[in-house]
Amino acid sequence: MQLIDTHCHLNFDAFDEDRDAVIARAAEAGIDRILIPSTDLQTGDEAVTLAENHVEIWAAVGIHPNSSANFEPAFVDLLRGKTAHPKVVAIGEIGLDYHWDFSPKERQWQAFEAQLELARALELPVIIHNREATDDILAILERWVTTLPESIKDRPGVLHSFSASPEAAERALAAGFYLGFTGPITFKNADELRHIAAQVPLNRVLMETDSPYLTPTPHRGKRNEPAYVRLVAERFAALRQLSLEEAASQTTRNAEILFNIR
């Protein structure tokens, strides 16, 4: 069995003391590839360095909305330079976050739309962060996908750690996006999210941890890590009445197609 953790912040300080052991535990659990998205220019460099040093690690580069307060157009050229690395497979994580007040909405929009344009120009998928900004994000993405070249029209990106409504899921899927599911599908009070996960077309689902955050049951309250993506996959498999092997095979294939990491 093989699984891909398609969203893990393995470069964060939470892993400084045992990063190699975390990677080893992931391999023991059947997780053979890990994708590290970035949140700013520095974490982009960190993600690329980890990808260079570990065959199982891949990277995405981008400016997170909560890191966009000082965004400048020149940052796009810096991101473009990082995408020259062969293990950079996406732009992300990017998007909008109206929960925290770390960046004005206008600056978030500027950063988001500039990075969407970069992704379009480079023909790379995007990893989308959404917190309390669903309508604005979907409106922007629905316009954006109409401009995409044929190479990524069917794989524009993923709505990471999906947590919006069933109607939002339908809109995202209609625009061609994948949905990423994380630890919350194992939480006791997440019935609506599980309902969505049970209905999404199997060829549009990704497994994520968002480590070190969103730790699945039964480890909730502790640091999350890539090995625990297996727990997310087990819950997803049960929802779909699949074996773990079947769920792992399909979601791994999805990640390989979306991010071109065969």
Q: What's the whole-number mean pLDDT along residues 24-37? A: 97
For residue 145, the domain's CATH number is 3.20.20.140
Instruction: Classify residue 30 as left (phi > 0), alpha (psi -120 to 50) or beta.
Output: left
Q: What's the whole-number mean pLDDT along residues 185-194? A: 96
Q: Which residue range(s) make up the domain with 229?
A: 3-259
pLDDT of residue 1: 85
What are the tens digits of pLDDT across the range 216-237? 999 999 999 999 999 999 999 9
Measured CA to CA in angstroms, residue 217 lies from 23, 31, 188, 224, 234 at distances of: 20, 18, 9, 10, 11
Q: What's the whole-number mean pLDDT along residues 51-57? A: 97
pLDDT of residue 262: 78
Amino acid (one-letter) located at 210: D
What are the tens digits of pLDDT across the range 195-214? 999 999 999 999 999 999 99
Kind and range of the H or E element at 214? none
What are the tens digits of pLDDT across the range 93-144? 999 999 998 999 999 999 999 999 999 999 999 999 999 999 999 999 999 9
Number of domain units in the chain: 1
For the chain, state the CA radius of gyration.
17
Please say whether the beta carbons of 166 and 185 come within 8 A. no
The pTM is what? 0.97
